[in-house]
Chains A and B, each alone.
Chain A
Amino acid sequence: MDKATKKQLEITACKVRMGIIEGVYNAKSGHPGGSLSIADTLTYLYFARMNIYPDKPDLPDRDRFVLSKGHTAPALYSTLANRGFFSTEELKSLRHIGALLQGHPCIHIPGVDMSSGSLGQGISAACGMALSGKISNDIYKVYCVLGDGEIEEGQVWEAAMFAAHYKLDNLVAVVDNNGLQIDGRISDVCSPYPITDKFAAFGWNVVEADAHDFDSLEKAFDDAENASGRPTVIVQKSVKGKGISFMEDQVSWHGTAPNAEQYAQAMEELNAQLRSLEG
């Protein structure tokens, strides 16, 4: 990846993070931690990887995206808004009565390919989309982001078995390994480790990545292209709350909105990052 592209992605990711904070702050609820940990990945997918059409969001040959860890909808919404699917103003009414943006992804929102949020379900829908593409020889790819806590759901492994059995090499799943879930460290709650070995045993092409390094993300998604006959999982090492000092690696920021003071500080930090990137 050339330097200019990388810098532009970093700037965009910073704006996506601002949108996340804006949304969650105005909603007075929501999930900032896991949204911030996938902000770079979604930025990369929507600004550098996926074949999508913000003005024609339902075009059949578009790549599909399913946010299986649906509680991190603020990251998806902010990415879609920044990409032009709808106005960034919508982020301010996230979770409000009558708002476009529901607490969890809803298929009726422009750019959202599947309703999700009940953990473990999005990956199955992504498998169905990928199977559909195989049936019709469609060229689209299906991307799906899961949480590392989410993979404790048994349905994920039903889907993992299915995807390998039907050789869904047009499917790329990302496990966002920020290491935290509501009740604590995933290794303490009911450990899903070793994640890479489990997917490998299920017959997947397994790739590891640094979730906050665009070169690493690009390499991982490139590797996925070469997995003929097998679905790919990218296990990305991430930091929950990434980009905001007091939220980083803190389980308490899984599902808490910042107060006015915390909001101001978060935005100040993001603005400083933006200035330094643009400067």
Chain B
Amino acid sequence: MADVKKIATRESYGNALAELGDKYENLYVLDADLAAATKTGIFKKKFPDRHFDCGIAEANMMGVAAGLAATGKIPFASSFAMFAAGRAFEIVRNSIGYPHLNVKIGATHAGISVGEDGATHQCNEDIALMRTIPGMVIINPADDVEARAAVEAAIKYVGPVYMRFGRLAVPVFNDAATYKFELGKGIKLRDGNDITIVASGLMVNEAVNASDELKAMGINARVINIHTIKPIDREIILEAAAETGKIVTVEEHSIIGGLGSAVAEVVCAECPCRVVRIGVNDEFGHSGPAVDLLKEFGLSAENIVKTVKDVLGR
């Protein structure tokens, strides 16, 4: 595993925009003074006339994106998750969600893996916020291959999409040659009938590693990657609930309102089984290197293994 390539999904976002800019001439990018960090600067370099910096004014940026979409453009409004989903929430809700405009929100620096900047910038609430907006599609890609595919899927889909990208370089585990992104469809990465691990974003790779470790202990843990958190793939989750009877969810987000909540909502209503959520508990993060924080907050293969064993009483 030592030679696995690592790329941050924010990098994938910027690269995908730059690549797709030729194919989709109607694609425009907005940023709020963070083009170097969100990586939309890569697009700006190639298409300087199609990139508009709105300055440090995320509320207005979301409204401008709405106006661009209302006149037929496909705008990608980009900022950190904290400001895109947090600060600008009500503009996203009322100016993009309610009129169901074709705006794509590229939110980078999501989750605790923002690292050293600390709690003010570690957004663990964005999925919860976006999930409550009717008609909002939410994509949380797991690696470079999935993130690039997600950007194109967002362009092809007509309607508002919230995309979540990370700052930390993470392993590229999907095979670009064979990978297929289907909006709203989960992907079964490991088979198993003892328990199911449902993961999203950069926790998917950890879940796969955990499943492989568990297998060596004689535990067959199914792994499902939910890249589209809304609309969620009910079928794959209900099948897992029925066939494995126990679910552990893993996400780099608050355990309130994110993937775990979404899975529990589906399971509770239609096929009740035990659902244990791994995520950031009801607390703020703090400064530190991203990898150390992930470990500290239990967002690791190690903690997934431990949790699965606890649930199974092994």
Given the known interface contacts A155-B59, A158-B60, the answer about A121 and B95 at a Cβ–Cβ threshold of 8 Å is yes
Assess whether B67 is in contact with A114, with CB atoms less than 8 Å apart: yes
Assess whether A124 is in contact with B52, with CB atoms less than 8 Å apart: no
Contacts of B75 in A (CB 8 A): 128
A121 CA to B90 CA, complexed, in Å: 9
Residue of chain A at shortest CB distance from B65:
A128
Other-chain contact of A125, B50, B72, B95 (Cβ < 8 Å): B95
Chain B contact residues, CB within 8 Å of chain A: 28, 50, 52, 54-55, 57, 59-73, 75, 90-91, 94-95, 98-99, 101
What is the size, in residues, of chain A's interface with B at 8 Å between Cβ atoms? 35
Q: Lowest 6 CB-CB distances: which A-B pairs, in order?
A: A128-B67, A124-B63, A158-B60, A158-B57, A128-B64, A132-B71
Assess whether A124 is in contact with B67, with CB atoms less than 8 Å apart: yes
Assess whether A132 is in contact with B72, with CB atoms less than 8 Å apart: yes
Assess whether A125 is in contact with B64, with CB atoms less than 8 Å apart: yes
Contacts of B60 in A (CB 8 A): 124, 127, 155, 158-159, 161-162
A76 to chain B, nearest CB (A): 15
A114 CA to B67 CA, complexed, in Å: 8
Other-chain contact of A131, B62, B64, B90, B95 (Cβ < 8 Å): B64
A61 CA to B75 CA, complexed, in Å: 20
A138 CA to B63 CA, complexed, in Å: 20
Assess whether B99 is in contact with A129, with CB atoms less than 8 Å apart: no
Assess whether A121 is in contact with B71, with CB atoms less than 8 Å apart: no
Assess whether A135 is in contact with B94, with CB atoms less than 8 Å apart: no
B136 to chain A, nearest CB (A): 15
A144 to chain B, nearest CB (A): 10
A115 adjacent to chain B (CB < 8 Å): yes
Interface residues of A, dominant DSSP: helix
Assess whether B63 is in contact with A159, with CB atoms less than 8 Å apart: yes
Chain A contact residues, CB within 8 Å of chain B: 60, 64, 106-108, 113-118, 120-133, 135, 138, 154-155, 158-159, 161-162, 165-166
Assess whether B99 is in contact with A155, with CB atoms less than 8 Å apart: no
Residue of chain A at shortest CB distance from B90:
A118
Assess whether A118 is in contact with B94, with CB atoms less than 8 Å apart: yes
Given the known interface contacts A124-B59, A162-B55, the answer about A155 and B91 at a Cβ–Cβ threshold of 8 Å is yes
Given the known interface contacts A115-B95, A117-B94, A129-B71, the answer about A124 and B66 at a Cβ–Cβ threshold of 8 Å is yes
Other-chain contact of B71, A107, A108, A128 (Cβ < 8 Å): A128
Contacts of A128 in B (CB 8 A): 63-71, 75
Q: List 7 additional contacts besides A122-B63, A128-B71; criterion CB under 8 Å.
A: A60-B71, A108-B99, A114-B99, A118-B95, A125-B66, A126-B67, A132-B73
